[in-house]
Amino acid sequence: MAGSNRVGYAVVGLGHFAEHVVLPGFGRSRKARVVALVSGDGAKARRLAKKFGASEAYTYDTYAQCLANPQVEAVYIATNNSTHAAFTVKAAAAGKHVLCEKPMATSVAECREMVNACRSYHVRLMIAYRKYFEPGSVELKKLVQSAKLGRLKMIQSTFSIYMRPGGVRPAWHFDRSLAGGGALPDVGVYCVNTARWVTGKEAVEASAYEWTVAPDAFKDVDENVAFRLNFPDGLIMQGTASWGGAKDSFLRVVGEKGWAMLDPAYQYDEDRRLYGRINGRWFEKKYKVINELALELDAFADCVRRNREPEANGVEGLRDVAVMEAIYQSAREGRPVSIQYAE
């Protein structure tokens, strides 16, 4: 795509992930360019705009001016989870397409508001699930969809990182009103979404248990959540989200004819392996680190230019939040909970 035809993005929210992962992704993108930055800290916005070649810098108070900029065609929202809905609705009303970080929002009600706003104003809404574009994950999905594993029986997935208040993560991650939860919406959402995406199936019931070994640090959000998702055809998923273990992630799919495992599954800065055994025969593939954000930015730019619905659209994000709401309810009440998508 010619440089003049690249989709112009504004990046809203300039935390660690945006500064060190999202913004460098534009440097590798072929179809997207960053034209504006928006932050609560105006000096930071101006500094990073100069560093990454954005022509404009705004604050949250001048977000409306950013949306009035004709060079801004899409916004990448990377603010705290509780503000995703408000920034999305304002962007949609201004005719701007929206690429929103996961989790989509802190409640199904907010997700529904975002979906409805983007539909009403005829703009595209995509949730930033970068695994949809990472080659190892794509290959695993193709393998599962080919039925070479046979009828699916079990999925096992974990994503853990070690986090405590006062570290590199800002304080809002430990405030339920701002984050919607702890380990589950931060890292567990990868397990939930990738399992749904790879299998093409929807869970109908959740059972969960929440625990902590550091109650002083985790008074408001979850440190660890183990959950089981039941699917209508007998498929069972067992997942764990943790802020209490070393960085680790995997996704294992087991069928009647074989199994396959992606390890690590969700990190963006590590080589990964896809391996397993099908009908008694071992296989293994290796994948080098690539810039997943560039692929994600380009995919959404394609949807904008070609007026096409993104694969990871707002409905997918809403369903993940519905699953997580059921997981939290089960952990609170100590019983299985039916998942209500109600989209």
Instruction: Give the residue numbers marked as catalytic.
Output: 102, 190
Distance CA 51, CA 223 (A): 36
Neighbours of 125 (CB within 10 A): 27
Distance CA 301, CA 295 (A): 10
DSSP string, 11-74: EE--SHHIIIIIHHHHHH-SSEEEEEEEES-HHHHHHHHHHHT-SEEEEGGGHHHHHT-TT--E
**Residues 33/52/38/83 CA torsion (nearest 10 deg):** 80
| Phi, psi of 212, rounded to the nearest 5 degrees | -145, 150
What's CA 69's distance to the chain center, in Å? 27
